[in-house]
Structure 1
């Protein structure tokens, strides 16, 4: 193990290499470009291949083809580029192909700007492309998690035969922080009997998402639905920070999740019992995290870099029992811990020691 100073996007590339990924297909777009740059420099040393496709549509379909062979494959892009990949992601989910997709979220809509945002939450967690399907979505908040969760993404993709997204942002992707380059733990043995690698000496295998009859279509959809329910039950992940005696909760992920930790510490200095739930899996959303608090806390504030997207999942998780409010910044702007705390104090009249 070694501790090094690296840029966030480069950390993702290094984690992919150490996870056994040897195939990358992508197209440059700020602020994700360092992923393809890093792998272009490093992959030749380990026998890997990087292809800069003609566009994002070509890249995701190259991932589809490579994943059919059972090899670990990855692509990376940023918001408008990920939009172009949506049809291919729907096809890949339906064909049950393991792959890792990195979205270094930039602000939008449209071309937007290059600053950090969380405006792709709906796109990432609700499907994005056509049809009933899900991506597993992991949300790192610091350098070490960029490394660890990228490794986790490859294992989850193989375990469930499903695309997995690592949803980061322009701040995390461009920030340099120390990271411990740990050796990857042994992965679980996974079934590879489905892969397409030549049919000599065995029956041919076909990987497709097209249903020839409505009856087959319903049967397939029920099978996928059962898989997604299993993932929801098994893979909800989150972090709790000073929630044991919390009367109020912040809920935030990624970059704002790390800012909210400072908010909690500042609140505690003032005698405000504030805690934080930081979702790590955005899908499956960690509903279980909220069960102990739905009837306990007096209020919740979600902190997001959008007009309010994750707040819908939070309200569903707590069944709209505590007051739930949104504090947001947009357009690439990040909040400070003091802005967030002032919002909490104002919304719940904590300076007067009573609720609204």
Structure 2
């Protein structure tokens, strides 16, 4: 499809942008206020003969994303705050194994079950890694439905470029409100970056089989991997930070993200 403009809910815009970015496998589990995203993927991923699975739990969904990404698919899951908390172990495993994947968090109020109203409360969880161990994720925080679509499209490229999990940090307001959205063109799947590191890509080549894992029981090896990972994070900070500055001549600045 060429670029076009549609009136869409934020959740639907995220889903459509993911499809157009070349997402070939989606695994999710329902939770308010992101259910329209999962429903949209169920309808339109299957229509394109791509993979959609409603998993039995949030934990199952993130591990399915891990497996699909390790096998070479552009993979994604989505949830909302308490559901994303359940995914943190899987996100940590993906970060430890250098697995690129995308997680959309349509944030709601907490702690605990909290509410289904929008919130900015998951900031520290997302920007500090969220799960166990020494790692970070790339976090993209849209302020509008248009940015939600644009940043979703970008998220898949950043995940592939840096081989890291990428979090789209939206919220319930963006997920539920409607805007006119200019949608990006649909990617030709054959043009997507090759994942030569993925499991199965050595089959029939005579090369040693790929082995993807976050486990390393040799302390020196694990330390070296963590150091290399943090060197990569420094490169990401130098090249990929994005922000919008309003009022360059102001005496006082307020820093905010998302719809806050």
Q: Same fold (TM over 0.5)?
A: yes
* Residue of structure 2 equivalent to 1:209: 214
Partners of 2:14 and 2:158 in 1: CA distance: 16
SS in 2 for 1:150: helix
* Residue of structure 2 equivalent to 1:165: 167
Partners of 1:116 and 1:19 in 2: CA distance: 26
Please identify, of 80-89 and 176-185, the stretch whose mean Cα deviation from structure 2 is larger: 176-185
Maintained 8 Å contact 1:151/1:184: no
SS in 2 for 1:255: coil
Partners of 1:213 and 1:47 in 2: CA distance: 43
Maintained 8 Å contact 2:104/2:168: yes
Partners of 2:67 and 2:253 in 1: CA distance: 44
Maintained 8 Å contact 2:103/2:166: yes
* Residue of structure 2 equivalent to 1:197: 200
* Residue of structure 2 equivalent to 1:46: 48
Give how far 1:4 is off: 1.1
Maintained 8 Å contact 2:93/2:214: yes
Unaligned stretches of 5+ residues in structure 1: 257-356
Runs ≥4 residues deviating over 4 A: 184-191
CA spacing shift, 1:20–1:189, aligned 2, 3 Å? closer
Maintained 8 Å contact 1:36/1:50: no
TM-score w.r.t. the length of structure 2 is: 0.94
Unaligned stretches of 5+ residues in structure 2: none
SS in 1 for 2:43: helix
TM-score w.r.t. the length of structure 1 is: 0.69
Q: Does 1:117 align with 2:119?
A: yes
Partners of 1:185 and 1:24 in 2: CA distance: 16
How many pairs are equivalent?
Answer: 255
Partners of 1:192 and 1:22 in 2: CA distance: 14
Q: CA offsets per residue over residues 17-48 of structure 1, 9 Å max, x none?
A: 10111210010000011111001011122111
Give how far 1:3 is off: 1.4
Q: 1:187-266 residue pairs with structure 2 within 5 A?
A: 190=193, 192-197=195-200, 199-201=203-205, 202-243=207-248, 245-256=249-260
Partners of 1:182 and 1:189 in 2: CA distance: 15
Partners of 1:182 and 1:231 in 2: CA distance: 24
The answer to which structure, 1 or 2, has the higher relative contact order (CA under 8 A, 6+ apart) is: 2
**Larger CA Rg, structure 1 vs 2:** 1
Give how far 1:212 is off: 2.2
* Residue of structure 2 equivalent to 1:305: none
Partners of 1:189 and 1:22 in 2: CA distance: 11
* Residue of structure 1 equivalent to 2:78: 76
CA RMSD of aligned residues (A): 1.6
SS in 1 for 2:212: coil
SS in 2 for 1:241: coil
Q: Does 1:57 align with 2:86?
A: no
Give how far 1:189 is off: 7.0
Maintained 8 Å contact 2:21/2:187: no
Q: CA offsets per residue over residues 246-288 of structure 1, 9 Å max, x none?
A: 11112111112xxxxxxxxxxxxxxxxxxxxxxxxxxxxxxxx
SS in 2 for 1:217: helix
